Amino acid sequence: MPKISGDELRGHLATLILSVLARGEAHGYEVLRRIEDAGSGALELKEGTLYPALYRLEQSGHISARWESAKETRRGPRRRIYRLTKKGIAELDRGRKSWRNFVSVMDRIVEA
Amino acid sequence: MEALRIHIERIVRPIRAGGRRKNKMREELLAHLERRCEDDMARGTTQQQAQDFAMTQLGDPEALRNDLQATVPFLERMLFVKLPFATLDSWFDRSHDESAIHFVLVRTICMTMFAVLLIALLFVIDHGPALVSGFAGEHEWHDLPTQCSSLLLMPCLIGLGAFIAHVLVEVTGLRRNLSKMHSAGLFLRVISLNAFIGVQLLIIVFGGLFVEYLTAPPRVAAVTLYALGSVARILIPAVVFSFVVGMPFTAWVMVKEHERYEKWGRLKIDE
């Protein structure tokens, strides 16, 4: 399968993150794994780009974050668990509509 | 996993942001890289290969640093702009190669300049609108030269106060003892440093007031006392608030942060 680079994903990363968080709360690495798994290995995402995107989503109130509790903690550094907020759900809805519109417009042009 | 920490520190340390935010970034990126390494090592790669791969996968450090920097709110970014001169801690710690005279003079000059700015600001606030709008009374125009000369006298007095305070601190060995307190508890060090700043400010204000009261003619003294009183009105509540609320809280937060992130600060990175 041809790879999709990070540049092609630019602008859609927020929607990707919100989509995978819609399946349930997750820490950063898990978010990445879910995106990679859903993309069947076709997505070539620079992993570092995930965290600035998560912080921006958190600041805009689309997701909320908490440090994992003592029970959840394994050995090593703590992880932050992210979850979708109501505002995030609405944003995801908008993102999906925008994506469908983008695909349909591109389809009409490219497949013409 | 020291290599991972150093890699993260190279990315995070130069970011202009508060300690809490940077520590969040550090811990989260480290958790990510460690998890990536564990997964790769479970697939049979060596630790070295796993670490190299994890760091490569994280992306270009400079691009990531810029992206992380962009997530820091504007005001916070401005608060942590690197100044061309010393940080607060080194301001009160004389380096080994700096002479005591140089240390005292530089700080005295800085304090005097700060006083000039502060007093000019107070003067503009008090008299600016009346003078600009032309509604100043006859006596205000008449008094202006006297007021200006007495206002110029004050920075000199404050500078003298700063000079005396620093000399006292040097002579009594207080600053030297503060520097040695690195080995003492961090809580104690923060409290002492704050107390040192507070006491110094009080010496400057009341020392200036006292000297001025003893030496100046009554009219100049009245204006100077008024302006110094204005400074004191701002300074004393600030110092009291700092002692009662700010200092214990700051110390507590710093101790908590320090305990958790002590290792990061010790890492040697090429900045």
- What pLDDT, in 10s, does the model give residues B174-207? 656 655 544 455 556 566 666 666 666 666 666 6
Collapsed DSSP state (helix, strand, coil) of residue B61: helix
Query: How close, in Å, is residue A109 to chain B by CA atoms?
Result: 33
Please, what is the average pLDDT of chain A? 86
Whether residues B28 and A52 touch (CB distance < 8 A) is answered with no
ipTM (interface pTM): 0.87
- pLDDT exceeds 60 at position B136: no
Q: What is the DSSP letter of A21?
A: H
- pLDDT exceeds 60 at position B271: no
Interface of chain B toward chain A, CB-CB under 8 angstroms: 11, 24-25, 27-32, 34-36, 57-60, 63-64, 67-68, 70-71, 73
- pLDDT exceeds 50 at position B86: no
Taking residues A89-111, report their average pLDDT. 89
Q: What percent of chain B has pLDDT over 90?
A: 17
Strand partners, A5: A44
The single-letter code of the amino acid at A1 is M
Collapsed DSSP state (helix, strand, coil) of residue A83: strand
Whether residues A77 and B34 touch (CB distance < 8 A) is answered with yes
Say if residues B130 and B136 touch (Cβ distance below 8 Å): yes
Taking residues B228-233, report their average pLDDT. 67
Taking residues B229-240, report their average pLDDT. 67
A28 vs B263, residue with greater confidence: A28
CB atoms within 10 A of CB B131: 15
**Pairwise CA distance, residues A7 & A23, whole Å:** 25
A92 vs B264, residue with greater confidence: A92
Contacts of B57 in chain A (CB under 8 A): 46-47
Whether residues A49 and B64 touch (CB distance < 8 A) is answered with yes
Nearest chain B residue (CA) to A32: B32
Whether residues B59 and A47 touch (CB distance < 8 A) is answered with yes
Whether residues A56 and B24 touch (CB distance < 8 A) is answered with no
Whether residues A76 and B71 touch (CB distance < 8 A) is answered with no
**Pairwise CA distance, residues B222 & B147, whole Å:** 10
Whether residues B67 and A28 touch (CB distance < 8 A) is answered with no
- pLDDT exceeds 80 at position A79: yes
Write down the H helix ranges in chain B: 2-12, 19-42, 47-58, 61-70, 74-79, 88-92, 100-133, 138-172, 174-180, 186-215, 218-241, 247-266
Taking residues B98-125, report their average pLDDT. 73
A3 phi and psi angles, rounded to 5 deg: -80, 145
CB atoms within 10 A of CB B82: 7
A106 vs B97, residue with greater confidence: A106
| Nearest Cα to Cα of residue A30 among B258, B80, B32 | B32
pLDDT of residue B262: 66
**Pairwise CA distance, residues B19 & A110, whole Å:** 49
pLDDT of residue B74: 86
Nearest by CB: B59 against A48, A56, A78: A48
**Whole-prediction pTM value?**
0.60
**Pairwise CA distance, residues B167 & A69, whole Å:** 51
pLDDT of residue B85: 45
A4-110: which CATH topology? Arc Repressor Mutant, subunit A (1.10.10)
Say if residues B25 and B18 touch (Cβ distance below 8 Å): no
Taking residues B223-230, report their average pLDDT. 66
Q: What is the DSSP letter of A82?
A: E
- pLDDT exceeds 90 at position A90: yes
Lookup: tokens for B177: 């003892």
Nearest by CB: A51 against B28, B57, B60: B28
**Pairwise CA distance, residues B31 & B37, whole Å:** 10
Collapsed DSSP state (helix, strand, coil) of residue B209: helix
pLDDT of residue B129: 63
**Which stretch of A59-68, B117-126, B142-151, B260-269 has the lowest confidence by average pLDDT?**
B142-151
**Pairwise CA distance, residues A2 & A42, whole Å:** 6
- pLDDT exceeds 80 at position B151: no
Contacts of B52 in chain A (CB under 8 A): none
Interface of chain A toward chain B, CB-CB under 8 angstroms: 27-29, 32, 46-49, 51-52, 55-56, 59, 76-80
pLDDT of residue B183: 47
Whether residues B31 and A49 touch (CB distance < 8 A) is answered with no
Strand partners, A80: A67
- pLDDT exceeds 90 at position A19: yes
Whether residues A77 and B30 touch (CB distance < 8 A) is answered with yes
**Pairwise CA distance, residues A39 & A36, whole Å:** 5
C-alpha to C-alpha distances, A30 to A22, A35, A62, nearest whole angstrom = 13, 9, 18
**Pairwise CA distance, residues B72 & B87, whole Å:** 21
pLDDT of residue A9: 64
**Pairwise CA distance, residues B254 & B204, whole Å:** 28
Write down the H helix ranges in chain A: 6-9, 13-21, 28-38, 50-59, 86-110
Whether residues B27 and A76 touch (CB distance < 8 A) is answered with no
Query: How close, in Å, is residue A94 to chain B by CA atoms?
Result: 23
Q: Which of A7, A13, A51 to mutate to test the interface with B (most CBs of B within 10 A)?
A: A51
- pLDDT exceeds 90 at position A21: yes
Please, what is the average pLDDT of chain B? 72
| Nearest Cα to Cα of residue A93 among A19, A4, A13, A3 | A19
CA Rg value for chain A: 15
Counting every residue written for chain B, the total comes to 271
